[in-house]
Chain A
């Protein structure tokens, strides 16, 4: 009996301690993540307050507007295309670069740094550089295609290539960042595996496919989660390169959201789009953590 009470009070004290230790992080998380998320959800059921007119309950009207908004659907389609291109390509590129700079080659440190540079640069600065790469007639890209005798093309100014052009910038920007994770993972692999493979006479491709790739799976999962989030989050370069144009050809969801929220000041509709975006992203993250995670082999 006495023992039980002691145990009970000490558990209570431990719990109190635990909560106190968690408190600073919890306050920050609630104030800047959970509370805004909940209030966004609530706002999405009200009309946009304007001046002294407060918002009124409109139920699902903002969501109905969304379903009927052609620019929203265009942004969804573009974003799926953007994700479908950036995710596999930036991961593949990162892996190739990591394998390459993991070898003992001359100027290895320099190469690593060169590949990582895009990640360090601010996106707005990067976009301003690429703006001149894509410039018709005398831009870098035009000089190359011009030297090959190809016709001039307005990369950012024609609907057929604008989305591809902004996608390329995103891949270039992301690959270096993911490379660092792969490189770290490759360096932590046991060197005796490589020696064993060499003794067994395994080809380089076989060694990669059967040893390195499976052992890199946890990293790949982590990178995949990040790539997915970034595919919906990276829009900074649009502000400089195309502003979503021409005629919404390169608009992405978050950019559309920004326009609705901070150019049109339709905060209620913007809240509704935010809710959809959060639900989709949370769904993807949960799928990755609970389904893909089981298929990943941890050491």
Chain B
């Protein structure tokens, strides 16, 4: 009895809905909003989900025909795993924020479409040309634009002004060259009575993705690790080996911690005054600002032959296996969310670098920059920044480089040997991409 009632209760509305649907198919179809699934990863702290939801709601208000559903998908790695598995099963998100370095992988999997096909009006063209060149290096290949910069970062140097004063250094004059860095780090290294180091002069993390931090040494030494097409690498270039030698020598000189330095605990080492100078992402700015109980400075990466640092972070991509209507809506959304005002807000909420010069011209960011000049260092470094290392079969080639770097840093191989081995491995992997 009860079950019957239940079944009837269930069946009635279903039938009714079916009837309605049959009667008004044309009408319903015309008004059905375009569904826009959007995956995003979170790699920094802060109430990011709230900001994203706010953006989605704002966009839907202005575009009633589109329904944006933002889906938090975990770390960058988890997000690409989810997006690519969904692509392989035929139902990818319409758009997703993924690492800029995933571009070649996504192209090889034929998972994404270039943005060029959607750029039609002069206004569209102006928008596409409005981003920092340094961010577009990882977003374009073969004359096409595959990604739109969104949550981008770069590596900068943080230094503890108090420790600088104690060591007799000018707290407002950070080291600007390799020689100055080594000199300052030597003065900043402290040992206790037994000879044990209690405070390291400089610390460059090397766990997980050492290649990215390594680029803060290769770029100043005027070496670019991969070609623009992502088909060849130059690990055994003497300038690259020299850069690695410099890193290894910092450790040998006893002014940089030995072995592989953990990325995750590096900011904490800085708070605890165990490291006087650290290299880390601009994404850590908000964290360090909140937790450092001393006056600190943020500066550009010291140069050698030139200045420079790699960019990093995520781009928007549009997936191929979605309907043209969805792709159009996604393009509109990406264009909307990267407008200067919103890029400025995103930068303030997260600590990421705003993606266009126009964003820094907004009143919000101007005021923020006046109150907190450290936030502008990343922007000032952008003119000399280079693309984050990326090739076809990216993660495999990257691993070859990472293994080599860690082998050299832990002393199991010489820098030259490590880079030659990595080169051989990378050449083998990239054979198929040429």
Complex Cα spacing A249 to B406, Å: 10
Known: A51-B110, A52-B110. A156 touches B262 (CB 8 A): yes
Q: How many A-B residue contacts, CB cutoff 8 Å?
A: 95
Q: How far apart are B67's CB and chain A's nearest CB, in angstroms?
A: 29
User: Do A154 and B258 form a contact, CB below 8 Å, given A131-B265, A138-B272, A265-B84?
Assistant: yes
Could you tell me if A265 and B109 are in contact, using CB atoms closer than 8 angstroms?
A: yes
A149-B194, A247-B403, A262-B81 known; A157 vs B207 contact (CB < 8 Å): yes
B259 touches A154 (CB 8 A): yes
In the bound complex, how far is the Cα of B272 from the Cα of A61, in angstroms? 52
Question: Which of B12-20, B24-32, B392-400 touches A?
Answer: B392-400
Q: A131-B265, A149-B194, A265-B109 are in contact. Are A158 and B407 (CB under 8 A)?
A: no
- A interface, size bucket: 20 to 34
Shortest distance between the CB of B221 and any CB in chain A (Å): 23
Determine how close the nearest CB of chain B comes to the CB of A87; give it in whole angstroms: 28
CB pair A157 B410 closer than 8 Å:
yes
| Interface size range of chain B in the complex | 35 or more
CB within 8 Å for A131 and B262 given contacts A137-B274, A262-B81: yes
List the B side residues contacting A137 at CB < 8 Å. 198, 269, 272, 274
Q: Which residues of A contact B207 (CB under 8 A)?
A: 156-157, 242-243, 245-246
Q: Are A152 and B196 in contact (CB under 8 A)?
A: yes
User: In the complex, A152 Cα to B259 Cα: how many Å?
Assistant: 12
A293 at interface, CB cutoff 8 A: no
B197 touches A152 (CB 8 A): yes
A118 on the B face (CB < 8 A): no
Output the nearest chain A residue to B200 by Cβ-Cβ distance.
Answer: A137
B130-180, CB < 8 A from A: none
Q: B260 contacts A51, CB within 8 Å?
A: no
The 10 A-B residue pairs with the shortest CB-CB distance in the complex, in nearest-first order: A51-B110, A157-B259, A157-B260, A246-B406, A246-B260, A263-B395, A154-B259, A247-B406, A247-B407, A158-B259
Additional 19 contacts, C-beta under 8 A, given A51-B111, A245-B208, A263-B396: A131-B262, A135-B268, A137-B198, A137-B269, A138-B272, A138-B274, A154-B257, A154-B259, A156-B260, A156-B262, A157-B410, A158-B260, A245-B207, A245-B402, A246-B206, A246-B407, A259-B395, A263-B399, A266-B396
Q: What residues make up the interface of B, taking CB atoms closer than 8 Å to A?
A: 77, 81, 84, 105, 108-111, 194, 196-198, 206-208, 257-262, 264-265, 268-269, 272, 274, 393, 395-396, 399, 402-404, 406-407, 409-410, 412
Q: What are 7 A-B interface contacts by the 8 Å CB criterion?
A: A131-B262, A131-B265, A154-B258, A154-B261, A247-B403, A262-B77, A262-B81
